[in-house]
Homo-oligomer: A and B are copies of this chain.
């Protein structure tokens, strides 16, 4: 009873046509006469035929798949983006492979492998820390044109990048706090080597300077986007002799845990401390007090990145031109920010 998967030959036999005709019915049905087409489709239904992807991929030299490189899949920020990438790619007939770049194996190596061995046609990377070695490898294989950055990016690689207007986000946060009367504003950063962290911090400092605010060095508190680092930052904050009246955190997760830890130390948010986050995770609106934050259009970012990649994969002319799409950000004012006390 070991009935094998039917192949195109079996369908051809049942339909009484050649394999070429069956193949055409699959890929360019309009080129067949109506009667033949029907015959073939009937045979396909009758046999339960499914095309063999490996054979098709070998012949067409395409994979019909895209790799998404995610730094830390466990982070809800990325998984939402992944979801919308999946949606667009699936709608266009592409499969989605994922790889978590936190994996022990060298991600650059792994990614090059996927791209060069034909497992995928393109790459969307949410991780900006891609090695230049990987860039070189892909360039040599003429595959660099099939890479798109999403959210994070690398200035070393001139590739299209779909990202939020991070600098604007930081400015909005500072302006909001400034308008509320705050003059002593701290900042909890992301990882030092992260491009988002760098941009947000730089814009934070620049805006403070523009507004004539001095930022004491100790008010720049190092974090790494995680919950744990937010709590740690809170400890440093409460220990300061001259405590800032507001904090701008480079991620919502840090903001949430910072608030929680501050409360444990008897500080009340927003009365004693105003807090602004970044990302607008869904939960930001479902905590008490709800979090004032900078919203990123995560769904849009994923969608646009996927569309950009598809465009490039479909275009015959390889275009390695860097194109930057800045997705707008919004200040979402909720309950963790208030005017400075009397």
Contact = CB atoms under 8 A, between A and B. Distances in A.
Interface of A: 2, 5, 48, 50-55, 57-58, 63, 65, 72-76, 78-80, 82-83, 86-87, 90-91, 95-100, 102-103, 105, 110, 113-114, 116-119, 140-142, 227-228, 230-231, 253, 256-257, 259-261, 263-264, 282-283, 285-288, 290
A51 B283 contact: no
Contacts of A228: 286
Contacts of A54: 54-55, 57-58, 63, 118
A46 to B, nearest CB: 14
A55 B96 CA distance: 20
Contacts of A82: 73, 79, 98
B99 A90 contact: yes
27 contacts: A5-B116, A53-B57, A53-B119, A73-B79, A74-B83, A76-B76, A79-B82, A83-B100, A83-B102, A86-B100, A86-B103, A87-B100, A87-B103, A91-B105, A95-B97, A95-B114, A96-B97, A96-B98, A97-B98, A228-B286, A230-B286, A231-B286, A253-B283, A257-B286, A259-B288, A260-B287, A260-B288
